C-alpha cells in the first residue's frame, strides 16, 4: 500500500490546496503496461482526504470488470485526521454487483466491485489500490488528476509502457512540456506524466469541457487488439475499417422480410417516402435493448437475428435498418458517434475509440437523411439533441471518414407562443395559450408525451409553470413529425391572484409565461472561455383583456438589445381595456473569450429585468373592489 502512519495527516496538506476544496487527492500512481500483443495490466493507487460531507463521494471507490477485464486485487485503508490507520478493507467488505443499472439490458457481462468506508468524522483519508488485467489493448486510461473543481491535488503520476514497435499517441491539455520518456530493460517505451499542487478551481457558468480547464492527457497506441481482433489508430480511415469489419456480412435478411420490404415500397418512386416507410416498419417491429457481451460492444447482431427476436441495441438496430434499405436499393452509411457527450470532448486529431453509439444516414446531395434507430417515436431524419451538431465517424468497406451530424440552429430551435388572457375583478387570470416548439426545444416534450400518461404529464406541467396558485383546466399536445419536428401545445389555465390590486391601482406582469430565469454575478476575474453549444429563439405574443375603466399610470419602456450573445426585444401597449405584449429573444451558440463575460452579465440582467417589468394602471372609478 502507499501509506505509512502519519503520512496523511491533514497538517501536511498545503493551505492553498484546502481553500475551496471538498477533497484533496493526496497521492496517485497509475501504471498501464502492455505486456503482450493483446494483454495489459492497469494498476492504480490513490488516496483522498475527505474534508466535509460534500466530499463523501470520494470515500466510495469502484472498478468494473467483464469478459475483457478481470480485477486481480482490490484493497483499501481508512485513516483519521492525524493520518493514523483506523481500519483496512476486508475481502467480505467489497460489494460485487451487476454493472447494468438502466433497466434496458437484456445481456450484459458488466459487473462492478465497490466499497465505501461510510465514515463521518471529518477530515479523514481513504486509500485504495486496484489491479486490473485486460484482454485487449484498445482502451487506455484517460489521465485527469483533478477530477472536479472542488478537488486539490498534491501529487499524481501516470506511467504508460508500450512495446517500441507500437508507440503511444497522446494529446494533452494544460500540461507544460512533454512526458518523460525512457526505455526499460525489455526495450519497451515508458512515458510518464506527473503533476503536483493543483489548487481547487472556481466553477464558472458556461465553461468549456473540464478536460480543457485542468491537466488532462488522452492516449492511444497506433495498433491495438480487442480480444483477438486487430485494429489501428493510425488514422480515422483505418479505425473505421476496424469498426466496419465487425458488421460486414451481417446484413442478410430472410425471404419473408425481403418480401415485406418490397410490399412496403412497391409503386413508390420517391426515395424519401421509401425511407419513411421502412423506418416506420423498423420502429413498429423492434425495440431497443442494450446488449454488451465481450466484443458485443462493437459487433452487432445480424439483421436476421433482429428480425426474428424483434429487439437489438444501437448497433444491431442500425445494421437491421441498413439491411432493409439495402434490399430496397438505397445506400446508407453505418456511423459511430458519441451520443450525449459534451461536444468538446471529441478529439478529431487523435484517432481512437471515442464513441458510444451508432446511427445511420442516407447520403444525398440535397437532403441527407439521418436515422436514430433506437427510437420508436422519432421521425425519420431527426436525431435530437443527443446526436446533433458533432463529428461522427461514417464507416464502410473503404474505412472511416469524419462527418458532421445535423446542426439545429435558431430557425429550427424555435418556440412561438400566443397567449390570450382575461383578468377578472378578483385578480384571477384565465389564460388560453397556444405554443409551437421546434427542433431541440421540442425534445423534452416529445419524450414526455411519448412516455407518460396524461395524469403524469399534468403533474410535470404543474411543476413547470411559473405561477404561485393555479389550476390547469385543460391541456393538449399534437406532434408534427418531420425532419424538422414540431409539437403544438394548448393550455387552458386559471391563475389565482395573478395581479395585485392596491386601492385604485392595479399592478400586472404582461409577460405571463416566458420569463428568463438566468442571473449572473459580475466577475472581473473570469478565467475560462464562455461556451454555448446550441442556439434558440423564443417569440411571445400576449393579449390580456382587462376590466373596463383603467388607464395607464406607468408603462414599461420598449427594450431592444443587440449583443454578440443574441438579441432581445419587448414592447407593451394599452389600447382601451386590451393590454398587448410582444417579446422576442434569440440566444446564440458559440465560444466567446472570458473578457466578454461582463457583456453576458449585462445581456442576462437586461432580459431578467425587462421580463419582470410591471404595468401600473389606475382606475377612474370604483369598478374593482379592493382585494386587500
Contact criterion met (CB below 8 Å) for 325 and 362: yes
Task: Identify the pLDDT of residue 67.
Answer: 87
Q: Classify residue 342 by burial, with Cβ atoms within 10 Å: 0-12, 13-18, 19+.
A: middle
Grid cell digits, residue 620: 377612474
- Predicted local distance difference test score (pLDDT) of residue 294: 57
- Closest to 244 (Cα-Cα) out of 135, 401, 371, 386: 401
- With cell 390547469, the residue in question is 472
Q: pTM here?
A: 0.91
pLDDT at 119: 94
Write out the H or E segment, with its range, that includes residue 306: helix 303-309
CB atoms within 10 A of CB 329: 10
Cell numbers for 25: 487527492
Dmax over Cα atoms in the chain, in whole Å? 99
492-493-498 Cα angle (round to 5): 145
Residues of the chain where predicted confidence (pLDDT) is lower than 50 = 1-4, 101, 103-105, 623-628
Phi, psi of 284 (to 5 degrees): -75, -20
Displacement of CA 308 from its chain's centroid (Å): 33
Q: Which residues contact 597 (CB under 8 A, 6 or more apart)?
A: 523, 526, 530
pLDDT for 100: 58
Q: What is the pLDDT of residue 109?
A: 66
pLDDT in the model for residue 15 = 97
**Ramachandran area for residue 106 (φ above 0: left; ψ -120 to 50: alpha; else beta):** alpha
Pairing of strands 615-619, 559-563: unpaired
Domain spans, the chain: 10-222, 234-404, 414-619
**What φ, ψ does residue 370 adopt, rounded to 5°?**
-95, 145
Predicted pLDDT of residue 293: 57
Whether 234-404 and 10-222 are alike in CATH topology: the answer is no
Which backbone phi and psi does 103 adopt, to 5 degrees?
Answer: 80, 0
| Residue 367: predicted pLDDT | 86
CATH class as words, domain 234-404: alpha beta
Alpha-carbon radius of gyration of the chain: 30
User: Nearest Cα to 30, choosing from 192, 219, 186, 213?
Assistant: 192
* Domain 10-222 falls under CATH 2.30.130.10: no
Report pLDDT for 171. 97
Distance CA 111, CA 133 (A): 15
pLDDT of residue 296: 65
Per-residue confidence (pLDDT) for residue 5, from 0 to 100: 59
- Residue 125's Cβ-side half-sphere holds a number of Cα atoms within 13 Å equal to 28
| Of 39, 2, 10, residue with least CA distance to 157 | 2
For helices 314-327 and 271-285, the axis angle rounded to 10 degrees is 140
Contacts of 397 (CB under 8 A, 6+ apart): 244, 248
What is residue 344's predicted lDDT score, i.e. its pLDDT?
67
Task: Give the integer Cα–Cα distance in Å for 344 and 347.
Answer: 8
Q: For residue 345, which phi and psi values (nearest 5 degrees)?
A: -85, -5
What stretch of H or E contains 255?
helix 255-265
pLDDT digits (tens, 9 = 90+) for 198-219: 999 988 999 999 999 999 999 9
Take residue 361 and report the three cell numbers written for it: 444516414
pLDDT at 298: 85
Amino acid at each position: 500500500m502507499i501509506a505509512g502512519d502519519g503520512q496523511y495527516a491533514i497538517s501536511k496538506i498545503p493551505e492553498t490546496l484546502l481553500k475551496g476544496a471538498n477533497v484533496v487527492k493526496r497521492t496517485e500512481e497509475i501504471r498501464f503496461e502492455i505486456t503482450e500483443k493483446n494483454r495489459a495490466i492497469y494498476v492504480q493507487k490513490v488516496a483522498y482526504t475527505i474534508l466535509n460531507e460534500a466530499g463523501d463521494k470520494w470515500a466510495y471507490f469502484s472498478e468494473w470488470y467483464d469478459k475483457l477485464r478481470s480485477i486481480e486485487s482490490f484493497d483499501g485503508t481508512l485513516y483519521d485526521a492525524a493520518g493514523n490507520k483506523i481500519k483496512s478493507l476486508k475481502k467480505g467488505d467489497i460489494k460485487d454487483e451487476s454493472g447494468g443499472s438502466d433497466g434496458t439490458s437484456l445481456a450484459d457481462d458488466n459487473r462492478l466491485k465497490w466499497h465505501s468506508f461510510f465514515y463521518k468524522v471529518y477530515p479523514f483519508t481513504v486509500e485504495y489500490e486496484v489491479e486490473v488485467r485486460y484482454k485487449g489493448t484498445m482502451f487506455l486510461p484517460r489521465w485527469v488528476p483533478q477530477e472536479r473543481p472542488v478537488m486539490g491535488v498534491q501529487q499524481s503520476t501516470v506511467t504508460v509502457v508500450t512495446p517500441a514497435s507500437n508507440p503511444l499517441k497522446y494529446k494533452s491539455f494544460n500540461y507544460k512540456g512533454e512526458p518523460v520518456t525512457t526505455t526499460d530493460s525489455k526495450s519497451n517505451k515508458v512515458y510518464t506524466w506527473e503533476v503536483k499542487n493543483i489548487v481547487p478551481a472556481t466553477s464558472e457558468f458556461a465553461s468549456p469541457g473540464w478536460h480543457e480547464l485542468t491537466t488532462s492527457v488522452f492516449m492511444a497506441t497506433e495498433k491495438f487488439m480487442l480480444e483477438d481482433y486487430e485494429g489501428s489508430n493510425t488514422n480515422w480511415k483505418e479505425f473505421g475499417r476496424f469498426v466496419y469489419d465487425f458488421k460486414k456480412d451481417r446484413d442478410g435478411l430472410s425471404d419473408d422480410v425481403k418480401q415485406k420490404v418490397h410490399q412496403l415500397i412497391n409503386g413508390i418512386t420517391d426515395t424519401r417516402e421509401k425511407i419513411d416507410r421502412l423506418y416506420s416498419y423498423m420502429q413498429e417491429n423492434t425495440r431497443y435493448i442494450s446488449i454488451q457481451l465481450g466484443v458485443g460492444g462493437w459487433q452487432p447482431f445480424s439483421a436476421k437475428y433482429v428480425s426474428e427476436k424483434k429487439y437489438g441495441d444501437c448497433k444491431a438496430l442500425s445494421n437491421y435498418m441498413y439491411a432493409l434499405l439495402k434490399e430496397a436499393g438505397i445506400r446508407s452509411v453505418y456511423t459511430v458517434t458519441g451520443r450525449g457527450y459534451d461536444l468538446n470532448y471529441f478529439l478529431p486529431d487523435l484517432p481512437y475509440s471515442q464513441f458510444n453509439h451508432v446511427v445511420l444516414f442516407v447520403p444525398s446531395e440535397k437532403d441527407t437523411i439521418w436515422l436514430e434507430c433506437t427510437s420508436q417515436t422519432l421521425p425519420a431524419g431527426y436525431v435530437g439533441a443527443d446526436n446533433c451538431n458533432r463529428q461522427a465517424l461514417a464507416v464502410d468497406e473503404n474505412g472511416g471518414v469524419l462527418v458532421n451530424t445535423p446542426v439545429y440552429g435558431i430557425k429550427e430551435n424555435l418556440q412561438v407562443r400566443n397567449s390570450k388572457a382575461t383578468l377578472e375583478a378578483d385578480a384571477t387570470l384565465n389564460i388560453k395559450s397556444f405554443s409551437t416548439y421546434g427542433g431541440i426545444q421540442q425534445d423534452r416534450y416529445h419524450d414526455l408525451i411519448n412516455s407518460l400518461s396524461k395524469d403524469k404529464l399534468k403533474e410535470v406541467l404543474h411543476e413547470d409553470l411559473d405561477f404561485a396558485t393555479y389550476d390547469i383546466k385543460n391541456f393538449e399536445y399534437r406532434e408534427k413529425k418531420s425532419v424538422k419536428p414540431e409539437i403544438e401545445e394548448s393550455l387552458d389555465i386559471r391563475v389565482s391572484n395573478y395581479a395585485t390590486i392596491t386601492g385604485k391601482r392595479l399592478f400586472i406582469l404582461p409577460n405571463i409565461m416566458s420569463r428568463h430565469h438566468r442571473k449572473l454575478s459580475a466577475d472581473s476575474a473570469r478565467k475560462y472561455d464562455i461556451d454555448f453549444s446550441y442556439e434558440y429563439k423564443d417569440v411571445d405574443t400576449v393579449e390580456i383583456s382587462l376590466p373596463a375603466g383603467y388607464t395607464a399610470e406607468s408603462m414599461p419602456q420598449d427594450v431592444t438589445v443587440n449583443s454578440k450573445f443574441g438579441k432581445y426585444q419587448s414592447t407593451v401597449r394599452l389600447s382601451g381595456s386590451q393590454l398587448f405584449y410582444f417579446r422576442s429573444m434569440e440566444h446564440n451558440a458559440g465560444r466567446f473569450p472570458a473578457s466578454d463575460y461582463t457583456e453576458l452579465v449585462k445581456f442576462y440582467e437586461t432580459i431578467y429585468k425587462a421580463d419582470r417589468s410591471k404595468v401600473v394602471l389606475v382606475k377612474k372609478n370604483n369598478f374593482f373592489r379592493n382585494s386587500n
